[in-house]
Amino acid sequence: MDDRTFRGGNYAAELQAPEVYAMRRRRLAEAVGRGTIVVWGAGDDRGYGDVGTFRQDSNFFYLTGVELPNAVLVLRPSEELEALFLPARQEALERWTGPKWGPGDEAAKALGFDRVLALEAGEVELEARRRPVPGFEQRLQGWLSEPAAELWTPLPGAGVDDELPFVLRLIARLRDRLPGFAVHDLSDRIAALRLIKDEGEVALMRQAVAATIAGHRRAASMIRPGVWEGAIDGAVYAAFREAGAEGIAFPSIVGSGFASTVLHYDQNVGTLQDGDLVVVDIGARYGYYCGDLTRTYPVNGRFNERQRAVYELVLAAHDAVAAAIRPGVTLGELRKIAYDIIEGSSLTDAEGNHLGRYFIHGIGHFLGLDAHDSGGEGPRLEPGMVITDEPGIYIPDEALGVRIEDDYLVTPDGAECLSKDLPTTVEAIEAMLHA
Ligand code: GLY
Ligand code: MN
Ligand code: MN
């Protein structure tokens, strides 16, 4: 296999060492301590000629560093067993989607696993004879027929359509054949590990943030009346790729005028108008890790008096939150700090209402392999967590939206702003537009 180009089907900008993923698997196995742990990779239904991009499931990637489609990870803590199941290589399909590692020793060595087994039942050549080999489902059935068997797997929601997700259908099938095994949702156990970033993850997040900053600088260099939002979106993407990133962590938001008040506007089809603000909320993905940074720019290069007042209020909330990030606080508590500043200001809307009602979202979220990493507002912050701080005020009647978003690594005594190289003050933002 040509490693230089295809890397066995792994395309991330950078991976961590195989030992790092192996250590995460050990930690998960220790945390659960029993039963059969199964983690599913994402499927790839592009087949022969459908277009689209494969992206590995974040939990699976976290535990394996493997981007191959339709893969399954199994851990059996009681016997220290770990196995990666891969589909057999399909050379005709590889003409469409590129060469991939398949089952066997070569892949096991390259990917850092004891065993890489065939997903489907079949046979292998052993000592010059063909031998039958059980596929994944038969092996799983064997493990789950033990007394007091437990299956630990991330459980998807039932969804809104009629068809049950694949994992739930498999469990139902197994239950038909087996007397009874317990099923436990593994999602929270993996989420707990993912919340605390190791050094290698932080290094990748710094790269994602650096690429995102490059995107902002490129966007700022283009902002002026008459420019199409879509052209800025495209230039941001080019800047991400030139910085080595795989692409976007989420669809870029380039919203000017009224669209600056629409939180997840990502159509980017308007034209920048003299006198408007433009919210640019973008994130590069590097080594699968996400950046997520927002700046709000005046299209003509200068904030007017009202825009400046609202901008400085959002900035005051942003800075107060930044100063309060430390181990022990929650995102909910941080939001209250921002809300109190916005609501407590003498600035009002046309009816005389204070502006707290225009801060319509949370203060931020955990950031990592997903732009919105799981965790919600609940967990108390701990060193190694990465969060965003992104207060905003959105007044549709004035077509005036402002959001300022930075990414923070929680440290033992506070926080490090990973995106401190991208300025926030009125003067610095205006200077970026005139650079
Ligand atoms: N770009 C989505 C967010 O900031 O949460
Ligand atoms: Mn964002
Ligand atoms: Mn965000």
Which residue has a Cα nearest atom 4 of ligand 1?
292
Q: Looking at the structure, do residues 184 and 237 belong to the same domain, yes or no?
A: no
The minimum-distance atom of ligand 1 relative to the CA of 405 is: 4
DSSP-derived letter for residue 257 is: G
241 in the same domain as 340: yes
Among candidates 228, 222, 232, which has minimal Cα distance to 282? 232
Domain ends where: 153, 177, 193? 193
Question: What per-residue confidence (pLDDT) applies to 8?
Answer: 65
- CA–CA distance, 123 with 266 (Å, rounded to integer): 49
Mutate to test the pocket of ligand 1, among 262, 264, 335 (most ligand atoms within 8 A of CB): 264
- CB contact at 8 A, 102 and 87: yes
Same domain, 15 and 128: yes
Does 420 lie in the same domain as 278? Answer: yes
* Same domain for 236 and 141: no
Q: How far is the CA of 9 from the centre of ligand 1 (A)?
A: 29
Q: How far is the CA of 46 from the centre of ligand 2 (A)?
A: 29
Helix (H) or strand (E) holding 36: strand 36-40
Number of independent structural domains in the chain: 2
Which atom of ligand 1 lies at the shortest distance from residue 294's CA?
4
Contact assessment for residue 242 and residue 227, using Cβ atoms and an 8 Å cutoff: no
Atom of ligand 1 nearest to the CA of 253: 1
The minimum-distance atom of ligand 1 relative to the CA of 250 is 1
- Judge if 109 and 69 occupy the same domain: yes
Q: How far is the CA of 407 from the centre of ligand 2 (A)?
A: 10
DSSP string, 300-368: TSS--HHHHHHHHHHHHHHHHHHHH--TT--HHHHHHHHHHHHHHSS-B-TTS-BGGGG--S-S--B-S
Burial class (CB in 10 A: 0-12, 13-18, 19+), 164: middle
Here the tokens at position 373 are 């990493």
| Domain end among 171, 193, 215 | 193
What's the 273 CA to ligand 2 centre distance in angstroms? 23
Q: Give the CATH number, domain containing residue 206.
A: 3.90.230.10
Closest-CA residue, ligand 1 atom 1, reads 281
Contact 36, 152 (CB under 8 A): yes
H or E element: which one contains 122? Answer: strand 122-126
The reply to whether 105 and 161 lie within a common domain is: yes
From the first residue on, what is the mean pLDDT of each consecutive set of 10 residues in the chain (435 residues)?
Answer: 58 92 97 97 79 89 95 96 93 88 90 92 68 87 94 82 79 89 96 97 98 98 98 98 97 98 97 98 98 98 98 98 98 98 98 98 97 90 98 98 98 98 98 88
183 shares its domain with 280: no
Ligand 1 atom at shortest distance from the alpha carbon of 361: 5
DSSP run (H or E) holding 26: helix 18-32
Question: Which segments within 173-302 are labelled E, that is strand?
Answer: 182-185, 247-248, 253-256, 277-282, 284-286, 289-290, 293-298
**Domain edge (last residue) among 174, 193, 212:** 193
Residue numbers of the domain that contains 189: 3-193
Cβ of 406 closer than 6 Å to ligand 1, yes or no, is: no
Tokens of 73: 């990870």
Q: Which ligand is nearest to the CA of 361?
A: 1
DSSP code string of 189-209: HHHHHHHS--HHHHHHHHHHH
**Bridge partner residues of 408 (DSSP):** 387, 417
Dihedral (CA of 11, 109, 69, 37) sign: negative
* 379: its two tokens: 């967990």
* Same domain flag for 56 and 24: yes
Sign of torsion, CA 135 136 137 138?
Answer: positive
Residue 338 is predicted with a pLDDT of 98
The domain spanning residue 105 has which CATH number? Answer: 3.40.350.10
CA dihedral for 227, 228, 233, 237, sign (positive or negative): negative
- Name the residue with tokens 């669809």: 251
Q: What is the DSSP letter of 404?
A: -
H or E segment to which residue 32 belongs: helix 18-32
Question: Do you know the residue count of the chain?
Answer: 435
Ligand 1, atom nearest to 390 Cα: 4
State the closest ligand 1 atom to the C-alpha of 282, by its place in the atom list counted from 1: 1
3-state DSSP assignment of residue 138: helix
67 lines ligand 1 (CB under 6 A): no
Helix (H) or strand (E) holding 170: helix 166-177
Question: Is there a single domain that holds both residue 183 and residue 202?
Answer: no
Task: Quote the CA–CA distance of 359 and 17 in Å, as a whole number.
Answer: 42
CA distance 314 to 358: 11
**Same domain for 233 and 139:** no
What is the whole-number distance in angstroms between the Cα of residue 157 and the centre of ligand 1?
23
Structure tokens at 227: 């420019």
| Ligand 1 binding pocket includes 250 (Cβ within 6 Å) | yes
Q: Model-level pTM greater than 0.85?
A: yes
CB-CB contact of 343 with 319 (8 Å): no
Answer yes or no: is the C-beta of 389 below 6 A from any ligand 1 atom.
no
407 bridge partner residues? 388
Q: Is the domain of 230 the same as that of 252?
A: yes
Q: How far is the first Cα of the chain from the last one, in angstroms, to the nearest whole number?
A: 47
- Strands 81-86 and 115-118 come out as parallel
Ligand 3 centroid – CA 282 distance (Å): 9
Q: 53 alpha carbon to ligand 1 midpoint, in Å?
A: 21
Cα-to-centroid distance, 281 and ligand 2 (Å): 5
Q: Find tokens 């991208």 and name the residue.
A: 422
